[in-house]
């Protein structure tokens, strides 16, 4: 199928209806992607700093798991509270607009008229639009919320948003630790676990960045390289700090 045919298929009534119904799913995809990026970056930063300090695999795993659970929960709870606050604000705006429509219908009708006049509608067409929208209170309310407050569609679930963030953080954030877990089980398999951890995490950085790129309409290669670069920079700083603080670790 050609690019033109793909484009046409994306704009059939069925495809448009399906795309509009998937808005919340896209929101959870965003939560997963950014949770995964944060999990990989922060956990590998911990791994790098401890490796730079020359500490053993057991210490890396302890600190890495502590970061994985604590930071993952922190990020998920922050997402939960933020999404919940947005939903509460949306419900408040809906109540206030419903009261305005009930108490001042002519004023709210004039707002609809001016909103669509500003879009270029006039005369009988404008009056027909106003009449159609204000004939149904639910449609009227939805229109006011979208045009005046920028709110549209059902609100995302705070719990689902938090879970998407938390599990993505755990799954991708565990990758930097996997080499150290193998090394702790059998030190002869890998020799030094830091290089395998770097390679695995680099692959994870690139894969998550490529997914992020596709989700935000960025070329997958650019998204992958961007996230890989940011992760490598964060890890380099953490490793340098570990090296600088190695004398403190050796004195313990």
The CA distance from 20 to 4, in Å, is 21
Global model pTM greater than 0.75? no
Q: Can you give the pLDDT at residue 49? A: 82
* Contact (Cβ atoms closer than 8 angstroms) between residue 182 and residue 190: yes
The CA distance from 49 to 238, in Å, is 5
Question: In the predicted model, is pLDDT for residue 94 greater than 70?
Answer: yes
pLDDT (tens digit per residue) in 173-225 = 899 899 888 888 888 787 788 888 888 988 988 988 888 887 777 888 998 89
pLDDT mean over 43-67? 84
Q: Can you give the pLDDT at residue 50? A: 81
Distances in Å between the alpha carbon of 177 and those of 72, 158, 180, 197? 15, 29, 5, 7
Q: Can you give the pLDDT at residue 16? A: 63
Taking residue 207's Cβ as centre, other Cβ atoms within 10 Å add up to: 18
pLDDT (tens digit per residue) in 222-250 = 988 998 888 888 878 877 887 787 777 66
Question: In the predicted model, is pLDDT for residue 80 greater than 90?
Answer: yes
| Least trusted range by pLDDT, from 2-6, 12-16, 161-165 | 2-6
Q: Can you give the pLDDT at residue 10? A: 57
* Contact (Cβ atoms closer than 8 angstroms) between residue 76 and residue 165: yes
Q: Can you give the pLDDT at residue 17? A: 59
Q: Can you give the pLDDT at residue 162? A: 92
The domain locations on the chain are 29-90+157-250
* Contact (Cβ atoms closer than 8 angstroms) between residue 169 and residue 75: yes
Confidence tier at 166 by pLDDT (50, 70, 90): very high
pLDDT above 70 coverage of the chain, percent? 88
pLDDT (tens digit per residue) in 96-147 = 999 999 999 999 999 999 999 999 999 999 999 999 999 999 899 999 998 8
Taking residue 58's Cβ as centre, other Cβ atoms within 10 Å add up to: 11
- Tokens 């705070």 locate to 158
The CA distance from 137 to 30, in Å, is 33
pLDDT above 90 coverage of the chain, percent? 34
3-state helix/strand/coil string of 115-146: HHHHCCCCHHHHHHHHHHHHCCHHHHHHHHHH
Contacts of 12 (CB under 8 A, 6+ apart): none
Q: Can you give the pLDDT at residue 213? A: 82
Question: In the predicted model, is pLDDT for residue 3 greater than 50?
Answer: no
pLDDT mean over 51-55? 78
The two tokens of residue 76 are 């998920």
Q: Can you give the pLDDT at residue 8? A: 57
pLDDT (tens digit per residue) in 7-33 = 555 567 776 656 555 555 456 777 888
């Amino acid at each position: 199928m050609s690019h033109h045919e793909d484009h046409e298929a994306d704009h059939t009534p069925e495809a448009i209806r399906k795309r509009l119904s998937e808005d919340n799913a896209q929101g959870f995809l965003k939560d997963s992607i950014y949770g995964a990026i944060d999990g990989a970056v922060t956990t590998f930063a911990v791994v790098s700093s401890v490796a730079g300090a020359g500490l053993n695999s057991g210490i890396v795993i302890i600190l890495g798991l502590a970061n994985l659970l604590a930071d993952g929960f922190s990020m998920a709870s922050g997402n939960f509270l933020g999404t919940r606050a947005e939903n509460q604000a949306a419900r408040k705006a809906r109540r206030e607009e419903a009261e305005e429509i009930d108490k001042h219908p002519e004023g709210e009708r004039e707002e609809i008229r001016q909103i669509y006049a500003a879009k270029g509608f006039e005369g009988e067409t404008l009056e027909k639009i106003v009449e159609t929208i204000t004939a149904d209170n639910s449609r009227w309310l939805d229109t006011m919320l979208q045009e005046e407050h920028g709110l549209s569609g059902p609100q995302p679930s705070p719990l689902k948003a938090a879970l998407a963030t938390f599990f993505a953080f755990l799954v991708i954030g565990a990758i930097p630790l996997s080499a150290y877990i193998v090394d702790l089980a059998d030190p002869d398999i890998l020799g030094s676990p830091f290089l395998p951890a770097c390679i695995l995490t680099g692959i994870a950085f690139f894969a998550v960045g490529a997914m992020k790129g596709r989700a935000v309409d960025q070329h997958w290669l650019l998204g992958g390289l961007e996230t890989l670069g940011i992760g490598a920079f964060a890890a380099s700083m953490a490793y340098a700090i570990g090296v600088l603080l190695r004398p403190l670790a050796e004195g313990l």
